[in-house]
Amino acid sequence: MKAYIFPGQGAQFTGMGLDLYQNSPLAQELFEQANDILGFSITDIMFEGSVEDLKQTKVTQPAIFLHSVILAKTLGDDFKPEMVAGHSLGEFSALVANGVLTFEDGLKLVSKRALAMQKACEAQESTMAAVLGLDDAVVEEVCANIDGVVVAANYNCPGQLVISGEIAAIDKACAALTEKGARRALKLPVGGAFHSPLMAPAREELAEAIKNTTFSEPTCPVYQNVVAKAVTNPDEIKENLIAQLTAPVRWTQCVQAMISDGGTEFVEVGPGKVLQGLMRKIDRNVTASGAGN
């Protein structure tokens, strides 16, 4: 079965989406529509902005979403997903790709999510750190024994887990994890503790917007980050999407569930090749490529 996977924050690059805009009238139309919906010219920042410009949360999340969704739409009849999944923010792209959300509603929710997360980051200084070379259970145990807020946030692939929380707690956890034999426990250049309890204010804000948005029946199952299994019920999809902001991204488990359910060919739709790299570390027996490659 063919699975389409959609990247999250961190996949952005300067000039992203310009080739789509120049080569597809449909892409051009959707990008212009996005500028109108957002109330600012995101295309100027995507096509000509600096790395710093693209790092603004209010820009990063919609930019990656637009690149992914518009690329999927330009594939036309070739785009026939039998299963979809997205890494964190990428779950919104996946839900547009399988017909649960419209382009406009998806973009509005992503913009709302980005602004709510930015606000939560500004309310309390916090961060994330990548931990390499330890079993998940060891990382979880260390986090559970640290004073303060620090939790497992992104299960990216075996031996690569991102933790999230208060700065002091992250520092203590990194020291303890290094002692436990981590190959690396390194703070990431991010603005806050995504997928941790510190995102609760953002979750509340986004919950209202999600509840007031129409979610349709999907054309194929979405493997959601929170539950790491196939979901097709629109009400369940909503609940999982709300929970996602404070819950871990179980990406390894999502991919394993897709493979177990018959996924053999994985196509990454969006900027960069991060997910293709993770696929090779999760299971070398399946093929992973980029859309349009």
Q: Any idea which residues carry the catalytic annotation? A: 88, 195
End-to-end CA distance of the chain: 19
Residue 175 has what DSSP assignment? H
Beta strand ranges found along the chain (DSSP E)? 2-6, 83-86, 126-132, 150-157, 160-166, 184-187, 222-223, 230-231, 265-268, 287-290
**Token duo for residue 97:** 């790709």
Q: Which is it for strands 126-132 and 184-187: parallel, antiparallel or unpaired?
A: antiparallel
User: What angle do the packed helices 234-243 and 90-97 form, to 10 degrees?
Assistant: 170
Residues 6+ apart with CB under 8 A from 140: 152
